Amino acid sequence: MSGMHRRVFLKGGAVALLALGAPPSFLARAAMAASPLGGSSGRRKTVVFVFQRGAVDGLNMVIPFGDAEYYDARRSIAVEPPRRGDVERAIDLDGFFGLHPALSPLHELYGRGEMSIVHACGSPHPTRSHFDAQDFMETATPGDKATRDGWLNRLLAATDPHACGCDHGHGGAPTSGAGDGRTLDDAAAHASDHAVGQSALAGGGDGGQLLSPLRGVALSAEMPRALRGRYETVAIPDLAEFGVAGGRDESLEGAFDRLYRTKDTPAGSMDLLTDAAEGSFDAIELIERTDPLSYAPRAGVQYPGTDFGRSLLQIAQLIKADAGVEVAFADIGGWDTHVGQGGASGQLANRFTELGRGLRAFCDDLGDRMEDVLVVSMSEFGRTVRENGSGGTDHGHGNCMMVLGGAAAGGQVLGRWPGLEREQLYEGRDLAITTDFRDVFAEVALRHLGADALEANQMESIFPGFAVNPARFVGALR
């Protein structure tokens, strides 16, 4: 119920504030208000998660050229060890690992200390099913398919004082999913109590605690599992067209707003719809006010002309417009290279080219703002150490993640390397895992998004069944 509650609060709040003579631009100011996720700095922090769907071959993304087994196992698809001046070989990172040559745009970031890599990292669950493994990573509950909501949804809920921090006991833990049986009317009444109580703060320009409806956004038509759940998050396929009738008909917008909001008998699919509607109309209003499309990429910055490139460009626009984005999500697919993946060049290299150029463009575009922005890459599992008969690799286990941004403890490949000898491999065939992906997620949540201020039971709600322990963090962040 928490998501619905917060939405109603926002709208109820708007009405209450207007009644009190507060300026109508309160939503925009809500967006710019300091975030509870800002930690002690008070500055809003943002994390952009990039999901490489299809299981990227991490051993060819960040190549363990110092491990001779790598070359034995991959006779036709290995990337050769670095050699000065040879651009078709791995790019040396630390004398043992090398970056795939098609990721060269990222090498400078690594050199500047703005990119760290966690290798031999992933999910402890043995599944080699894309769909299960993606779900497990996005719910952060490996092995538990009953989890309905994404971990980022729970993180946003846990850090929203209106969703969880109030003392009326209005909703269960955000993970409960089932709600508490409270009707919309109850929630609305409850919410307007809050609105009245908070109005002086908000109207007085004291920052208040109003949060942006765009705290959690996915730049895609489909909402990724990681952001799905009771807390309202927004999927935006295209910023320019985000509105009723493309934003050209206000009376229609109002009409639909009312048709959806007056549904007073939420049942089955209907509550999914009313939640989605409230999220939409608040987000439309905020985007109108902050006008992210007026922010063009910095001179000389060129995003790839692909879905991924467009997603990153629009995330950058939202950040520059101060629209209140705290968690953003972008997908990049095409990693399931069972056949003919190639080595230094070829199919997989082409995917790396898009990835590398896109991430570099994003970092260059945001410039100094990267101090407060972190980019984290992930993929559901790695691929077999040994190449298959088709010049490709099959579904494997351990993989690697990249962390980019001013807060990254850059210039290092982190995590313990388990080795590639047969007896060192997971089930005798795949890279073993020495870092649980949840330890990386938890480090990001605690160190960057300020979740360290949460109480233990709230951390437990974000990572159910997983005891977060900073002693296990690999130190991907400064």
Contacting range for other proteins; rule: CB under 8 A; set: 57-65, 226-234, 316-324, 459-467: 226-234
Output 192 or 388, the one with its CB closest to other proteins. Answer: 388
Output 180 or 460, the one with its CB closest to other proteins. Answer: 180
CB within 8 Å of 189: residues ≥ 6 apart: none
- Which residues, numbered 161-190, are part of the site for other proteins (CB under 8 A)? none
**Could you say whether residue 69 binds other proteins (CB under 8 A)?**
no
Name beta bridge partners: 327. Answer: 47, 216
The DSSP element (H or E) to which 115 belongs, if any, is strand 115-122
Binding other proteins by CB under 8 A: which of 15, 87, 273, 453?
273
469: which DSSP letter? -
Give the Cα separation of 431 and 426 in Å (integer). Answer: 6
Output 18 or 339, the one with its CB closest to other proteins. Answer: 339
- The pairing of strands 98-99 and 91-92 is antiparallel
To other proteins, the closest distance from the beta carbon of 79 in angstroms equals 9
CB within 8 Å of 364: residues ≥ 6 apart: 298, 300, 301
**Between the CA atoms of 465, 467, 468 and 470, what dihedral angle is there, to the nearest 10 degrees?**
-160
Output 208 or 309, the one with its CB closest to other proteins. Answer: 309
Contacting range for other proteins; rule: CB under 8 A; set: 114-122, 291-299, 382-390, 453-461: 382-390
Taking the alpha carbons at both ends of the chain, their separation in whole angstroms is: 36
- CA 107, 109, 112, 115 torsion: positive or negative? negative
Helix (H, G, I), strand (E, B) or coil at 337: coil
**Could you say whether residue 449 binds other proteins (CB under 8 A)?**
no
To other proteins, the closest distance from the beta carbon of 387 in angstroms equals 9
Output 114 or 138, the one with its CB closest to other proteins. Answer: 138
- Which residues, numbered 342-361, are part of the site for other proteins (CB under 8 A)? 343-345, 347
Q: What is the CA radius of gyration of the chain?
A: 23
> Strands across the sheet with 91-92, in order?
62-63, 98-99, 91-92
- Which residues, numbered 247-266, are part of the site for other proteins (CB under 8 A)? 249, 251-252, 254-256, 258-260, 262-263
Name beta bridge partners: 332. Answer: 52
Binding other proteins by CB under 8 A: which of 21, 268, 368, 455?
268
CB within 8 Å of 259: residues ≥ 6 apart: none
Output 393 or 458, the one with its CB closest to other proteins. Answer: 393
Binding other proteins by CB under 8 A: which of 180, 193, 307, 322?
307
Contacting range for other proteins; rule: CB under 8 A; set: 191-199, 244-252, 313-321, 406-414: 244-252
- Which residues, numbered 139-158, are part of the site for other proteins (CB under 8 A)? 145, 148
**Could you say whether residue 223 binds other proteins (CB under 8 A)?**
yes
181: which DSSP letter? S
- Which residues, numbered 384-403, are part of the site for other proteins (CB under 8 A)? 388-391, 394-395
To other proteins, the closest distance from the beta carbon of 16 in angstroms equals 23
- Which residues, numbered 76-135, are part of the site for other proteins (CB under 8 A)? 76-78, 80, 88, 126-132
Contacting range for other proteins; rule: CB under 8 A; set: 197-205, 235-243, 312-320, 447-455: 235-243
Give the Cα separation of 180 and 175 in Å (integer). Answer: 12
Beta carbons of 58 and 372 less than 8 angstroms apart:
no
Binding other proteins by CB under 8 A: which of 113, 172, 207, 237?
237
Beta carbons of 81 and 89 less than 8 angstroms apart:
yes
